[in-house]
Amino acid sequence: MDRPNIPLNALRAFEVAARQGSFTRAAIELRVTQAAVSHQLIALEELLGTTLFLRTPKGLVLTDEAPPCIPS
């Protein structure tokens, strides 16, 4: 099976954003800017060829294509 080379920072950003439900709160936890989280996730979505989050006014919602995240 051919696996894409996924950057670890993008996976971290995905996990934290999914758990927090917000790019802004993920950025605070990761100690980076909101734009950095957004760029990491856009790049991850492009690499995987799928949308991972629905961006809603109430926060982020995982799509059916996104892997489930287990809350810590």
- Alpha-carbon gap, residue 51 to 47, rounded angstroms: 10
pLDDT recorded at residue 66: 78
Say which residues have a Cβ less than 8 Å from residue 19's Cβ, sequence separation at least 6.
26, 69, 71, 72
Q: Which one has a higher pLDDT value, 21 or 72?
A: 21
Contact predicate 15/25, CB 8 Å: no
What domains can you pick out in the chain, each with its CATH number?
A: 8-62 (1.10.10.10)
Residue 1 has pLDDT above 60, yes or no: no
Rounded to whole angstroms, how far apart are CA atoms 47 and 41?
10
SS3 45: helix
Q: For the whole model, what pTM was predicted?
A: 0.82
